[in-house]
Amino acid sequence: MNNVLTMNRLFVQDLMSAPPPCFAAGYIEELGKTTGFLAMRPRALIPKDALSSGFSFGHSVQEYDGEILLHFGFKFYGHKTYHCVVQPQNPIIMAVIDKMLETQDYFFFAINTDDTITSFRSKMESADLASLRTNRLLFDKAKCSLKKYDDARTHIQKEVFPYDEEMMWVCRD
């Protein structure tokens, strides 16, 4: 049985009109229950064999010039790794993370350049929850100006993840 997934139309339009590679986070509803989702649109096609092999999702806390930032990474097996750095004090990111922690569930969408969408659903494991919960406590105190965020994003991409593809964070307001 296929369940209907409901997303905000304006959010989806904004995501689809943003230049790739890009990343966004939001809410999705299924069977009357709301959970969080993460979505990405790569610059180039992710091959079907890489999509069918799945991916590894990770997060880390990155520090730059005294500022704390949240990093998301998506490694598609046999293909490449994509990264995005976000300001953890952003209310959308915090609300999505809080919903993911509350429901112990999230969706991930890879929106390919051929207009196909591959969706993954994950029940979060206790180890995932432990590190995300621990890091979540840091985010309440995090403050990162837009200028410092742009500098940090550039630095982190060049120095920490130089061989991977950076995704611009869109739909953040």
* Predicted confidence band of residue 84 (pLDDT cuts 50, 70, 90): very high
Whole-number pLDDT of residue 146 = 86
Every domain of the chain and the residues it spans: 21-169
Average pLDDT, the chain: 90
Candidate from 59-63, 112-116, 142-146 with smallest mean pLDDT: 142-146
Task: Average the pLDDT over 108-116 and give the result.
Answer: 93
pTM of the model: 0.91
Task: Average the pLDDT over 102-125 and give the result.
Answer: 88
Output the DSSP codes for the chain: -PPPEE--HHHHHHHHHSPSSEEEEEEEEETTEEEEEEEEE-SSPPPHHHHHH-EEEEEEEEEETTEEEEEEEEEETTS-EEEEEE-TT-HHHHHHHHHHHHHTEEEEEEE-TTS-EEEEEEEPPHHHHHHHHHHHHHHTT----HHHHHHHHHHHHHHT-TTSEE-EE-S--
* Predicted confidence band of residue 128 (pLDDT cuts 50, 70, 90): low
* Predicted confidence band of residue 1 (pLDDT cuts 50, 70, 90): low
Whole-number pLDDT of residue 126 = 66
Using one digit for the tens of pLDDT, what is the confidence trace for 8-58?
999 999 999 999 999 999 999 999 999 999 999 999 999 999 999 988 888
